[in-house]
C-alpha cells in the first residue's frame, strides 16, 4: 500500500491518491488559482501530518508478515557455546576381600603327647615362606562338633562295615554332655542317620541298628565332600571322623577334585583306617595279591592325605585293643587345639593356593626345646591345615 494522500473520515484515516485529484481538475471546473494553491498547500500539510501519525502509531520491530528488508544487515555470528564439561568419568574400584586366616593347631611330641601351656610367642606362621603376624591367639575350649562318617557297605563280605560299626562305639565314652555329634553312613551314596544331637545314646542306638549292608560300593570321595558341604553352614570348630578302608570304587568325584575341595575347607578331618586287621589276616593266609595290596596301601595314603591337609591325624590300628586309645586321642586333640589368626601380607586376590607352615619357637625366636620328665629332649610335631585358596578379586561398585 502506497501512502500518497489521506483523509480522515469518522475518526478513520482514509488514504487517497493523486488520480482522484486529476479527475476533479479535468472536469472543466473553473477553479480560482488562489483556491487551488491553498488546496495544494492544505493537501501537502495533510500528507505530512498523516505520515507522522502513521509512524507514531506503528510499533517498533517487524510485525505480522511484514516483508524483510531488501538488504538486511548481516546477522551477528552466534556466540560460541560454552565448552561442555566432560562428565566425570565413572570411578572404577577394585573390591578385594582380604581374608583373615584362622588355624586350629595341635602341638604334640614325637610320641603323640599333647604339649600344653603354649603361648602366642611360641608359634610362628609362614605363608609361602613369608612370616606372618599373629593377630588372635587362644586355646579353643568350645564344645566338639563332629560328624562320624562310617563306611557301611557289603565290600569284603561286610567285614569293613562291622569293624567300623564296633570301633565307632568307643568314641562316645570320651564325649562330654555339651558336645555335638551326628552320624552319616555311606556305601553307594551317603545317608544321614542321625543329625546333630547332644544325646549320645541316640547315635549309639542308630549304630547298633545297622544290620545288613546294602551295596558293595564304597564311594568315600562323594561321601566326604557331601559331608563337608553340609558343614558349611555350621559355625565354629567342626570335624569329621572317618572310619573307612579308604578304598573308593566309583565316586562321581575324582581324587584330585576331592583334594582341591578340601583345600578350601575349615573342617578338620580325622581318619581311622579299618583295613589293617583284615589285611594282616589275609597276608598270613596268602589271600592278598600284589595289586590288591597296592589298592589298600593307596587307600591308606588317601586317608592320611585327607587328615594331613586339614590339620587332623590318621590312625591305622592293627588290633581291636588299640581302639579305645585311638578314640581318646581324637577327642584330646580336639580339646587341646590352639586357635591362631592372621591377616596375610600377600593381598593379591589371585585365587591361588597359599601354603601354610606353623612352627614352634622360643619367645626370643630361637628353637623351642621340649623335654620329658627325665630331661630328655623331645621333638615336636604341629598339626595344622596346609594352606588355603586366596579369594578372587572383582570390579565392585
Cβ within 8 Å of residue 87, ≥6 positions away:
none
CA 107 from chain centre, in angstroms, equals: 32
Tens-place pLDDT, residues 332-381 = 999 999 999 999 999 999 989 999 999 999 988 898 999 888 889 999 99
| 8-state DSSP, 155 | G
Among 336, 356, 377, which residue terminates a domain? 336
Question: 158 CB contacts (<8 Å, ≥6 apart)?
Answer: 212, 213
Cell of 358: 606353623
Which three cell numbers mark 183? 552320624
Here the cell at position 328 is 581318646
HEC sequence for 167-209: HHHHHHHHCCCCCEEEEEEECCCEEEEEEEECCHHHHHHHHHC
**Regions in the chain scoring below 50 on pLDDT:** 1-37, 40-41, 45, 48-91, 93, 395-397
85 within some domain: no
Pair 173, 295 in one domain: yes
pLDDT of 80: 43
Q: What is the pTM of this model?
A: 0.72
- Say if residue 290 is in the same domain as residue 379: no
Q: Which of 116, 144, 143 is nearest to 241 (CA)?
A: 144
Q: Are strands 190-197 and 239-244 parallel, antiparallel or unpaired?
A: unpaired
Quote the domain boundaries for residue 256: 141-336
CA–CA–CA angle 213, 218, 220 (5° rounding): 130
Which stretches of the chain are DSSP H helices?
18-25, 33-57, 159-168, 200-208, 220-230, 255-263, 276-284, 290-309, 323-335
pLDDT per position as a tens digit, 110-149: 988 999 889 999 999 999 999 999 999 988 777 999 999 9
Query: Do 198 and 252 fall into the same domain?
Result: yes
In a domain, 2, yes or no: no
The alpha carbon of 384 is separated from its chain's Cα centroid by a whole number of angstroms, namely: 24
Mean of all residue pLDDT scores within the chain: 79
Residue 327 in contact with residue 174, Cβ under 8 Å? yes
Beta carbons within 10 angstroms of residue 330's beta carbon: 22
Among residues 308, 336, 364, the one where a domain terminates is 336
In a domain, 65, yes or no: no
Amino acid at each position: 500500500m502506497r501512502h500518497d494522500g489521506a483523509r480522515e473520515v469518522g475518526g478513520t484515516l482514509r488514504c487517497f491518491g493523486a488520480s482522484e485529484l486529476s479527475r476533479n481538475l479535468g472536469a472543466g471546473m473553473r477553479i480560482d488559482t488562489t483556491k487551488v494553491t491553498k488546496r495544494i498547500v492544505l493537501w501537502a500539510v495533510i500528507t505530512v501530518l498523516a505520515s507522522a501519525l502513521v509512524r507514531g502509531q506503528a510499533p517498533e520491530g517487524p510485525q505480522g508478515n511484514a516483508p524483510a528488508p531488501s538488504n538486511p544487515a548481516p546477522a551477528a555470528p552466534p556466540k560460541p557455546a560454552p565448552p561442555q564439561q566432560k562428565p566425570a568419568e565413572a570411578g572404577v574400584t577394585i573390591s578385594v576381600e582380604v581374608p583373615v586366616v584362622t588355624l586350629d593347631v595341635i602341638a604334640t611330641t614325637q610320641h603323640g603327647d599333647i604339649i600344653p601351656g603354649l603361648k602366642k610367642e611360641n608359634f610362628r606362621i609362614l605363608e609361602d615362606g613369608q612370616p606372618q603376624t599373629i593377630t588372635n591367639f587362644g586355646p579353643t575350649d568350645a564344645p566338639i562338633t563332629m560328624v562320624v562318617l562310617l563306611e557301611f557297605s557289603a565290600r569284603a563280605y561286610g567285614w569293613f562295615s562291622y569293624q567300623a560299626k564296633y570301633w565307632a562305639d568307643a568314641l562316645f565314652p570320651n564325649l562330654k554332655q555339651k558336645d555335638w555329634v551326628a552320624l552319616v553312613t555311606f556305601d553307594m551314596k551317603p545317608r544321614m542317620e542321625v543329625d546333630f544331637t547332644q544325646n549320645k545314646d541316640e547315635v549309639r542306638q542308630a549304630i547298633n541298628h545297622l544290620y545288613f549292608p546294602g551295596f558293595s560300593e564304597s564311594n568315600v570321595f562323594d561321601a566326604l565332600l557331601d559331608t563337608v558341604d553340609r558343614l558349611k553352614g555350621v559355625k565354629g570348630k567342626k570335624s569329621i571322623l572317618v572310619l573307612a578302608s579308604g578304598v573308593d570304587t566309583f565316586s562321581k568325584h575324582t581324587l584330585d577334585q576331592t583334594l582341591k575341595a578340601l583345600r578350601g575347607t575349615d573342617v578338620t578331618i580325622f581318619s581311622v583306617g579299618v583295613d589293617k586287621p583284615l589285611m594282616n589276616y589275609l597276608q598270613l593266609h596268602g589271600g592278598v595279591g600284589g595289586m590288591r595290596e597296592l589298592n589298600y596301601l593307596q587307600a591308606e595314603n588317601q586317608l592320611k592325605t585327607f587328615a594331613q591337609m586339614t590339620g587332623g591325624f590318621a590312625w591305622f590300628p592293627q588290633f581291636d585293643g588299640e581302639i579305645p586309645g585311638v578314640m581318646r586321642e581324637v577327642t584330646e586333640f580336639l580339646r587341646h587345639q590352639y586357635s591362631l589368626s592372621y591377616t596375610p601380607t600377600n593381598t593379591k586376590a589371585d585365587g591361588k593356593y597359599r601354603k601354610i607352615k606353623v612352627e614352634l619357637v622360643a619367645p626370643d625366636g630361637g628353637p623351642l626345646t621340649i623335654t620329658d620328665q627325665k630331661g630328655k629332649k623331645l621333638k615336636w610335631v604341629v598339626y595344622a591345615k596346609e594352606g588355603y585358596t586366596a579369594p578372587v578379586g572383582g570390579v565392585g561398585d
